[in-house]
Structure 1
Amino acid sequence: MTDATRILRIDASARTDGSITRALTDSIIARFGQAEVTVRDLANPLPQIDGDWIAANFTPAEQRTPEQAQTLALSDELVAELRAADVIVLGAPVYNFSVPAALKAWIDLVARAGETFAYTETGPQGLLTGKRAVVALASGGTEIGSDIDFAGRYIRHMLAFIGITEVEFVAADQLAIDAEGSMRKANEAVAALAA
């Protein structure tokens, strides 16, 4: 048995070389020392949900056909990765003020009623509690946390929706305006993270 922190690393940048968010996620994970790291690289695209997926998802598990179970197999795998993780380290560039389409596809596959959230009398309740997320965001011109940042707010909302409310951001924002200052600020934020 190991007591190592279990990390789920999610890279959403389309760039596999020269990606700021990938470099930041490397640095963030290094802060945890000896950790078990599962990597989900969204540069290897995930399928979009479709009518067959929706039908399978809304069929009770005990009534699903083998074909429906197969349709949900990847989604089940992604949810299992989240459940197994103590910490989610997510690297995401800001594309056109929001998240990359690849990250939205991942969110659509893991935000499942009865699996990662439940409907209650008081509204939706996240089921993946007790986890921590560290999110590295990079942008050319968008200031993270500003009125035009639809990426950071959306990521925070969706993580909370599935129960992950301890969320920290490392921002390398406005790189096109002050790359050196932005990277210095991001690296200082990484150095200040508690492991």
Structure 2
Amino acid sequence: MNILHVDSSALGGHSVSRELSHAVMATLTRNHPAALVTYRDLAANPLPHWAPAADASDPAVRTGSEALDEFLAADIVVIGAPMYNFSIPSTLKAWIDRIAVAGRTFRYGASGPEGLAGGKRVVIVSSRGGIYSEGAMQALDFQEAYLRKLFGFLGVTDIEVVRAEGVNFSPESKQRAIASAHATIDAGERIAA
């Protein structure tokens, strides 16, 4: 089994999504001790934003190809995805632009688009300063909704979200949100599978 772990928060040790993505990884590796784990920290080592390259020897092309190969090889992908300004960090978008590749992870046919990256599981570890899963702010969720649609477009149907939201309301709210997410991870039979 191959597990790809991607973190994108710029907050380092203060990051809720990093804390929780590492908790998901601890559960997965405890249950799959022989798993081969690849870790990509998009804040520490950001991928260049996509641009057309004329030369395959361009380091940006090689790095993008490595990211795509890591994604394709993974059986499980764990993504630490904080909400930044109602969406995802630009570093995560740069990574997505390297894995959403026509002919490799999707194609267009007579019946329309077809995802080619099915058969894998994606665990999205979401952190949010406010509450966006319900209520008036739900319409501003361009984070989880985008990630679900994107991976669905690539053919991934097994998508799970571990969420901590309301973390910026107060220290108590942050503590409750993190504890609730840890409880989801600890009790999650699907996460451990």
Please confirm whether the aligned pair reaches a TM-score higher than 0.5, indicating the same fold. Answer: yes
Q: How far is the alpha carbon of 1:189 from its aligned partner?
A: 1.2
Q: How far is the alpha carbon of 1:141 from its aligned partner?
A: 1.2
Whether the 8 Å CA contact 1:25–1:136 is kept in 2: the answer is yes
Alignment partner of 1:179 out of 171, 174, 178: 174
Find out whether 1:192 has 2:181 as its counterpart: no
Q: How far is the alpha carbon of 1:106 from its aligned partner?
A: 0.7
**In 2, distance between residues paired with 1:162 and 1:25?**
22
**Which residue identity lines up with residue 117 of structure 1 in the other structure?**
F
**In 1, distance between residues paired with 2:149 and 2:14?**
28
Matched residue of 1:48: which SS?
coil
**In 2, distance between residues paired with 1:91 and 1:118?**
27
Identity %: 39
Are the structure 2 counterparts of residues 104 and 142 from structure 1 closer, same or farther at C-alpha, using a change threshold of 3 Å? farther
Equivalent position of 1:62 in the other structure? none
> For residues 10-40 of structure 1, what are the alpha-carbon distances to aligned partners after superposition, in whole Å with 9 as ceiling and x for unaligned?
0010122221111111110111211321011
> For residues 108-165 of structure 1, what are the alpha-carbon distances to aligned partners after superposition, in whole Å with 9 as ceiling and x for unaligned?
1111100111111111111111100111111111423622211000011111111111
Equivalent position of 2:115 in the other structure? 126
Structure 1: gaps spanning 5 or more residues: 57-66
- TM-score, with length taken from structure 2: 0.86
Q: How does 1:124-163 map to 2 (within 5 A)?
A: 124-144=113-133, 146-163=138-155
Equivalent position of 2:42 in the other structure? 42
Q: CA RMSD in A?
A: 1.5
**In 1, distance between residues paired with 2:111 and 2:80?**
32
Matched residue of 1:147: which SS?
helix
> For residues 42-80 of structure 1, what are the alpha-carbon distances to aligned partners after superposition, in whole Å with 9 as ceiling and x for unaligned?
012110112x33xx5xxxxxxxxxx23545322211111
Equivalent position of 2:23 in the other structure? 27
**In 2, distance between residues paired with 1:128 and 1:150?**
22
Whether the 8 Å CA contact 2:47–2:64 is kept in 1: the answer is no
> For residues 155-195 of structure 1, what are the alpha-carbon distances to aligned partners after superposition, in whole Å with 9 as ceiling and x for unaligned?
11111111111110010111122212211221111112222
**In 2, distance between residues paired with 1:26 and 1:144?**
23
**Which residue identity lines up with residue 37 of structure 2 in the other structure?**
V
**In 1, distance between residues paired with 2:48 and 2:61?**
11
**In 1, distance between residues paired with 2:12 and 2:174?**
20
Equivalent position of 2:87 in the other structure? 98
**In 1, distance between residues paired with 2:108 and 2:64?**
19
Matched residue of 2:108: which SS?
strand
Whether the 8 Å CA contact 2:2–2:75 is kept in 1: the answer is yes
Alignment partner of 2:56 out of 57, 68, 74: 68
Matched residue of 1:25: which SS?
helix
Alignment partner of 1:86 out of 61, 75, 88: 75
